[in-house]
Each structure stands twice: as structure tokens, then as C-alpha cells.
Amino acid sequence: MVAASAVVTDGEGRILLQRRRDNDLCALPGGGMEMADSLPGTAVREVKGEGRPHW
């Protein structure tokens, strides 16, 4: 499986993290690439789909 992650920062230099459902830990937003996606497209899709941010 090919996957992509993204590092997203705000103006204060904080990094956006997601709370994982499988182990309740924080991680960079990311996920598996779909057949029609590019790696950058996968990263953007995963960041947009993450819900409430954990800064």
C-alpha cells in the first residue's frame, strides 16, 4: 500500500496532529493512496478529512 502524510503548521509553528482511532495516540494526518490519486492529492485529501485539529 502506498500512503502519504502531511506536516501542517500554523503561524506559531505548532504542528497539526490527528487522534488515531486504533490506539488513541496522536499522529500526522495521512492515509492510503487511492488508484486515481497522486501522493500530493492523497495528503491534501487526508488533511481535509481529519475533523477537529489537535495542535
> What are the tens digits of pLDDT across the range 2-46?
999 999 999 999 999 888 889 999 999 988 998 998 999 999 888
Neighbours of 42 (CB within 10 A): 20
- Enclosing domain of residue 31: 3-48
What's the rounded Cα separation, in Å, for the pair 33 and 3?
Answer: 5
Q: pTM to 2 decimals? A: 0.70
Q: Is residue 32 part of a domain?
A: yes
Structure confidence at residue 53 (pLDDT): 58
Higher-confidence position of 50 and 9: 9
Query: Could you tell me where the beta strands, DSSP code E, fall in the chain?
Result: 3-5, 18-19, 26-27, 30-32
Amino acid identity at 35: M
Q: Is residue 30 part of a domain?
A: yes
Number of domains observed in the structure of the chain: 1
Q: Is residue 55 part of a domain?
A: no
Structure confidence at residue 23 (pLDDT): 93
